[in-house]
Amino acid sequence: MEREGGVEAIGAYCGYRIRMSLGLSAAGPQARVWVRGSESEAEVEVDVPLKPSRDRTEAFDHGYAHAVLWIDAENKHLP
């Protein structure tokens, strides 16, 4: 979704809401990511390492992948 000042995307995984906001860096588009378990919980920003991205989709995919890793670690879903 286009917003004043940038592009945002909303997703979900295992009952968690994932919110991503796109910014620009020297490496190209970069996603900032926040995760929230329920409406009563505060959002937590997920640390997403910088990675060169060619376009918005690649940046959002990279951010979403790190959100999933964070959620799995929180829920002890890791093997």
* Span 4-45, pLDDT tens digits: 457 899 999 999 999 999 987 777 788 999 999 988 889 999
Give the integer Cα–Cα distance in Å for 47 and 67. 9
Give the integer Cα–Cα distance in Å for 31 and 72. 19
pLDDT range class, residue 71, cuts 50, 70, 90: very high
Task: Identify the pLDDT of residue 5.
Answer: 54
Helix, strand and coil in the chain, % to nearest 5: 25, 40, 35
Task: Extract the tokens encoding 32.
Answer: 């900032």
Question: Across residues 54-60, what is the average pLDDT?
Answer: 91
Task: Identify the pLDDT of residue 69.
Answer: 94
Give the integer Cα–Cα distance in Å for 31 and 21. 5
Give the integer Cα–Cα distance in Å for 16 and 71. 8
